[in-house]
Every structure is written in structure tokens, then in C-alpha cells.
């Protein structure tokens, strides 16, 4: 669970077209009987974020049919459809940012095709944020790293909300991180889960035994 003194939003990017998956909407495919997007949503719900914003695009109808029961049960979940999802991931981040509440201090940018991310990662990043804030350091972006390799999710402080809201293109927040690399803090973790995503159908099969 995240520190109750903080206000965080998680934006779950679920707008891709699954172009490399070669078998329809990858986020609807099952891992041990549960849709991929349900796996990635579960730790966000458990983390008790102030908001969970899910951005849809390609395959929105199929994905929304899975998400509908979650929205009914959890009032902090909202979905938004990115009409310009074909223009790249950055437009989905900007779409999600349009729903951010004014009291939010930090936003986690999360990828919907990374089902191995666990609650502990969100907790570790939020704790790092709190520590750096209390120490009045210049660190405002927090990213997990396994053996030096950065992964996801990425936590941005409120300082970057305006820039996140105006992103465009297909590079996501990479350029924003690069432009502010002196404010980036990598948080070492002991699992490669932060690097594992689903691009192709064989990736899905590999995960069956891990879930």
C-alpha cells in the first residue's frame, strides 16, 4: 500500500494496436484464465491509488468489456479513449493527464503489457519519492532498475505534469526523462519483472508458467 500522506495517480497505457502480436488484441488474451490487462491492473488496485486512469485506443471495445466490471467495483478507476492513439504513445500519456485531479502529487506511467509488475515496485518508488522530497533534493523522476537496466513503471512528480500533458509523437516520456536526467533517480530492484513485456504471442506462452 502506498503512503496515505501522498496522492498518486497511475496512468495505465492500453491504447496500442498489438501490431507485433499477430493475433488480435493482446491485452485481452488470457494468462492462466485471466486477461493480460487484468494482470497489469491488479497491482494498481491493490496499491490504493487516488486515481487509476486507463487509456484505450486500438481494440477499445474488447478492452472496455473487460474493464467495465472493474470500473463498477472500484470508483477510483476511469477510462479515457485516445482518439489519436495512432500518433504514438505520447498522445496516450497526454490523454491520461487530462483527467489528473488537482491534489495529485505524482503520477506513475504504467504499460498495460507488463503483467509481472508487483505492488512492491510501486511502494519502493513512492517511498523513494517521499524520501527525496523530505530531503529537499532535486530528484523528481523515479524509475526502477534491474542490474543497471531501467524498466517500468516511472514515477513523475507534479513538476513534470505540464510537460507530460503536452507530449506528442511515439517516444512516450523518453525525451522528457532525457531532458531531465539530472533529476532522475534509479531505484535498484532485485527482479527482472520490471523489464518483461508482452510483444509477441510466444512471450505470452513463456509467462504461463510464471503466473
Predicted confidence at residue 168, as pLDDT, reads 83
Measure the CA–CA gap between 208 and 36, rounded to whole angstroms: 11
Q: Is the peptide bond before 153 cis (omega within 30 degrees of 0)?
A: yes
3-state secondary structure of 24: coil
What are the cell numbers at 29?
488474451
Helices and strands of the chain, counted as H and E runs: 7, 10
State the first-to-last Cα distance of the chain, in angstroms, to the nearest integer: 21
pLDDT at 72: 94
Helix, strand and coil percent figures for the chain, each rounded to 5: 40, 20, 35
- Residue 102 grid cell: 488537482
Q: Please say whether the beta carbons of 49 and 14 come within 8 A.
A: no
Domain ranges of the chain: 8-208
Closest listed residue to residue 10, CA positions, set 59, 43, 58, 57: 43
CATH code of the region 8-208: 3.90.550.10
Residue 209: predicted pLDDT:
62
Q: Are 139 and 180 in contact (CB under 8 A)?
A: no
Question: Residue 144 corresponds to which cell in the numbers above?
Answer: 526502477
pLDDT in tens, the chain (211 residues): 555 556 999 999 999 865 565 666 889 988 888 999 999 999 999 999 999 999 999 899 999 999 999 999 999 999 999 999 999 899 999 999 999 999 999 999 999 999 999 999 999 999 999 999 999 999 999 999 999 999 999 999 999 999 999 998 777 799 999 999 999 999 999 999 999 998 777 777 677 666 6
pLDDT value at residue 6: 67
Report DSSP letters for 9-45, one per residue: EEEEEE----TTTSSS-GGGSEETTEEHHHHHHHHHH
The closest of 154, 152, 146, 151 to 183, measured between CA atoms, is: 154
| Residue 204 in grid coordinates | 505470452
Kindly state the cell numbers that stand for 112: 498495460
Instruction: Identify whether the C-beta of residue 135 lies closer than 8 Å to the C-beta of residue 143.
Output: no
Residue 78: strand, helix, or coil = strand
CA distance 40 to 138: 30
CB 157 within 8 A of CB 131: no
**Predicted pLDDT at 19:** 56
Confidence at residue 120, expressed as pLDDT on a 0 to 100 scale: 96
Amino acid at each position: 500500500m502506498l503512503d496515505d500522506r501522498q496522492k498518486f495517480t497511475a496512468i495505465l497505457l492500453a491504447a496500442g494496436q498489438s501490431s507485433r502480436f499477430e493475433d488480435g488484441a493482446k491485452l485481452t488474451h488470457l494468462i492462466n484464465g485471466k486477461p493480460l490487462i487484468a494482470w497489469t491492473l491488479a497491482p494498481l488496485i491493490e496499491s490504493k491509488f487516488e486515481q487509476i486512469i486507463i487509456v484505450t485506443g486500438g481494440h477499445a471495445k474488447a478492452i472496455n468489456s473487460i474493464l467495465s466490471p472493474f470500473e463498477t467495483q472500484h470508483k477510483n478507476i476511469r477510462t479515457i479513449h485516445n482518439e489519436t492513439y495512432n500518433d504514438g504513445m505520447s498522445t496516450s500519456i497526454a490523454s491520461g493527464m487530462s483527467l489528473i485531479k488537482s491534489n495529485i502529487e505524482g503520477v506513475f506511467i504504467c504499460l498495460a503489457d507488463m503483467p509481472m509488475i508487483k505492488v512492491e515496485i510501486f511502494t519502493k518508488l513512492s517511498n523513494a519519492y517521499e524520501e527525496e522530497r523530505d530531503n529537499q533534493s532535486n530528484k523528481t523522476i523515479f524509475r526502477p532498475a534491474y542490474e543497471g537496466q531501467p524498466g517500468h513503471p516511472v514515477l513523475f512528480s507534479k513538476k513534470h505534469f505540464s510537460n507530460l500533458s503536452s507530449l506528442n509523437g511515439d517516444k512516450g516520456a523518453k525525451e522528457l526523462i532525457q531532458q531531465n536526467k539530472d533529476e532522475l533517480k534509479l531505484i535498484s530492484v532485485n527482479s527482472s519483472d520490471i523489464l518483461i513485456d508482452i510483444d509477441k504471442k510466444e512471450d505470452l506462452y513463456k509467462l504461463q508458467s510464471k503466473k
